[in-house]
Chains A and B, each alone.
Chain A
């Protein structure tokens, strides 16, 4: 895997992957939206609002997944000083922040008609809000520290310290009293929801995952190009 972490090889490989990833994202999103808005049945209690689940739950999963990717990349950057690791971590953060924002906003829009409140200081909601603030803090570190090596190290430490919040979010519904229901898909004894609802949810989750992969590849290419621009500008100043 480290073989492909060479920036030149990464640019070639990601360039070849991008058209396929883009096509897969478009196809999966189209299929997922059709299933979510047209074929999925309404819930006998929630009615049409159950359709918010198909965009809320994948966004929440991606919020956690992207932070995990960011933490792993940060660990690799700190331990092995891998050339692409902090590029991967840095570029994942804005995408993860967007997914977290969407999880919070769509959750709020689902909560109002179902719970009667836009927001409650529930363990799950609060810990996801903390995750959003961690993303913003991580982005702020990169934006505010001028020296890139120092910014990369501090940002990596922030990402790793913040990772403690990921299991807290996952298990918050079991550790504390919460308005959220316990896990109903990722369970030892199998999913607890009907296949007519499960399939659209899984398709949308896959679409969001492939969308993240595509955007992450594009963002990493942009960051590599921006570092090359910086190197050229420095060389110009020195020369």
Chain B
């Protein structure tokens, strides 16, 4: 790639924005899973968790 070519700034900005948007999307998606996993572990660790976990497992996680 010739960095002295005309309009090369447009190419770099396009790749930069794509990288930034995809990076934010990946981080946000992974962060959500981690946060849910932590929350679920905390709920399951509480004293009466087995009864509640059984109740939750019996229900299909539909909308």
Secondary structure dominating the interface of B? helix
Chain B neighbourhood of A227, CB < 8 A: 61-62
Interface string of A57-95 (1 = CB under 8 A from B): 001000000000000000001000101001100100011
Residues of A within 8 A of B40 (CB): 225, 228-229, 232
Q: Which of B6, B30, B53 is A218 in contact with, Cβ under 8 Å? A: B30
Interface residues of B in 3-57 (CB under 8 A from A): 5-8, 10-11, 13-15, 17-18, 21-22, 25-26, 29-30, 32-33, 36-37, 39-40, 43-44, 46, 48, 51-53, 55-56
A47 touches B5 (CB 8 A): yes
A109/B14 in contact, CB under 8 A: yes
Interface residues on B, range: 35 or more
Q: Is the CB of B43 within 8 A of A106?
A: no
Given known A86-B62, A235-B52, contact A219–B43 (CB-CB < 8 A): no
Main secondary structure of the interface of A (DSSP, over half): helix
Chain A positions within 8 Å of B37 at CB level: 225
**Nearest B residue to A40 by beta-carbon distance?**
B1
Instruction: Identify 19 residue pairs between A and B in the complex whose beta-carbon atoms are under 8 Å apart, listed by A's number.
Output: A38-B1, A48-B8, A49-B11, A51-B11, A59-B18, A81-B62, A87-B61, A95-B29, A102-B17, A106-B17, A109-B10, A109-B17, A148-B62, A149-B63, A218-B30, A222-B36, A227-B61, A229-B43, A239-B52
Q: Could you list which residues of chain A lie within 8 angstroms of chain B, going by C-beta atoms?
A: 7, 37-38, 42, 47-49, 51-52, 55-56, 59, 77, 81, 83, 86-87, 90, 94-95, 98, 101-102, 105-106, 109-110, 112-113, 148-149, 151-152, 211, 215, 218-219, 221-222, 224-229, 231-233, 235-236, 239
Interface residues of B (CB under 8 A from A): 1-2, 5-8, 10-11, 13-15, 17-18, 21-22, 25-26, 29-30, 32-33, 36-37, 39-40, 43-44, 46, 48, 51-53, 55-56, 59-63
